[in-house]
Amino acid sequence: MARKTEPKDVTAVVAKQNEKMIEVRLRFWTNKISTEKGKVLPKHAQTGGVVRIERNETHGIVPRKPKPFHTLLDVGAIVEKVLIEHGIKLHPSERMRKYMTTPISQ
């Protein structure tokens, strides 16, 4: 198996405890479901909410304003926008590389 190489423009750093992973959080709205004001129905939520990224000093992530989604079909696109907005680059997993190729140079 080929050895992974690090991007040339990035220097590896020692990861602090609990900061190795990058966390993206989905939060679903639960208001306006119960007929009683100020109450929620346990384990019930709307199909909309917000996507936010958690603070992570090791990765240099400072969260910005959460981005809303209105249907579950929006979630993937909003997660992508949040990652791009925070400058995060994703590397394909071993499993994903099985069906990916690099673009052909023109």
pLDDT, one tens digit per residue, over 50-86 is 999 999 999 999 999 999 999 999 999 999 999 999 9
The answer to whether residue 5 is domain-embedded is: no
The answer to whether residue 103 is domain-embedded is: no
The answer to whether residue 2 is domain-embedded is: no
Instruction: Give me the domain span that covers residue 67.
Output: 24-97
The answer to whether residue 17 is domain-embedded is: no
The answer to whether residue 29 is domain-embedded is: yes
Structural domain count of the chain: 1
- Has this prediction a pTM greater than 0.75? yes
Taken in order 68, 81, 72, 18, is the CA torsion positive or negative? negative
pLDDT, one tens digit per residue, over 9-60 is 778 889 888 889 999 999 999 999 999 999 999 999 999 999 999 999 999 9
The answer to whether residue 18 is domain-embedded is: no
